[in-house]
Amino acid sequence: MPDILLTRVDNRLIHGQVGMTWATHLGANLIVVANDEVAGDEVQQNLMDMAVASMAETRYFTIQKTIDVINLAGDWQHIFLVVKTPQDALRLAENGVPIRVLNIGNMHFSEGKKQVTSTISVDEDDKKAIRRLMDMGVRIELRKVPSDSVIPVEKIFE
């Protein structure tokens, strides 16, 4: 079983908060980004790698490749898994990726979404995915950085 320390929803994927603050806090030595677009975009990968420096290795996989290879992780790999949407996290979980804790950090506002915290906006599809993850036993936490207090997930459903 892979040692997935935390899975995070962040529509920016890797940036300073993820690459430095969260990875250090978790003790992660591998950040896996599961995103179909970024998996094939070396320019975006290189930009994201700059936010990590040498603190951890990075891998950029499609959602399907993550499903296919995550269980091959070695015992020495302490993984911080980053996805763009709750729907991506749900697809991973429904296909055998052992997600125990899902941190929702950044989901930007766009048309059709309701802002529930300063950094999280959701629509009905997001709510359905989050509810399904909860039904699967995944613990959901809302917070931007490790030093923030956890906001109750119920805030999403108000």
| Six-digit token string for 117 | 């915290």
In this structure, are residues 102 and 7 in contact, taking their beta carbons and an 8 Å threshold?
yes
Percent of the chain with pLDDT over 70: 99
Q: Which of 15, 25, 78, 108 is catalytic?
A: 15
25 is catalytic: no
The mean pLDDT of 137-145, rounded to a whole number, is 96
Predicted TM-score of the model (pTM): 0.96
Residues in the chain: 158
**Rounded (5°) CA angle 73-28-99:** 60
CA distance 145 to 22: 7
For the stretch 70-106, pLDDT in tens is 999 999 999 999 999 999 999 999 999 999 999 999 9
